Amino acid sequence: MQYTFTRCQSILEKAGWVDNYQAKEVNLSSEEKIILKEIYKFPEIIEQSAKNFSPNLICNFIFHLAQRYNNFYEKHSIISAQSQELIIFRLALTAAVAQVLKTSLSLLGVSVPKKM
């Protein structure tokens, strides 16, 4: 999970990402849809984890999110995507994954390195 976070940060840094994404319509791959669905579950996972005193729920969630992101990263170009809109969307998706991983690891008391 730390590796996936640093990968996300590296991609965003290389692209000069500034977090001011304006939504545009793009055709999403199945991998992108899966990641978005996972991110959508994040607040519910945090709530369940707190109610049940089960930090393992967060661990399982970010493990699967990292796997899904890594699968997406292997199959799809981010910075060299076919259109500017798709590049911007994929950078925003990468930033969202990084933020969820960072927040989750912080809740678990795990630091996130800047580089690996």
Question: Are 64 and 76 a contacting pair, CB within 8 Å?
Answer: no
Q: What does the alpha-carbon distance between residue 50 and residue 11 come to, in Å, rounded to a whole number?
A: 32
Say what the pLDDT of residue 23 is.
65
How does pLDDT run along the chain (116 residues), one tens digit per residue?
888 999 998 898 888 887 766 767 788 999 999 999 999 999 999 999 999 999 999 999 999 999 999 999 999 999 999 998 899 899 999 999 999 999 999 999 999 888 87
Return the pLDDT at 53: 96
Q: What type of residue sits at position 91?
A: L
Within a 13 Å sphere around the CA of 43, how many CA atoms are in the beta-carbon half? 1
What is the DSSP secondary structure assignment for residue 82, as one 8-state letter? S
Q: How many angstroms separate the most distant Cα atoms in the chain?
A: 45
d(C-alpha 100, C-alpha 116), whole Å: 19
Give pLDDT, residue 113.
87
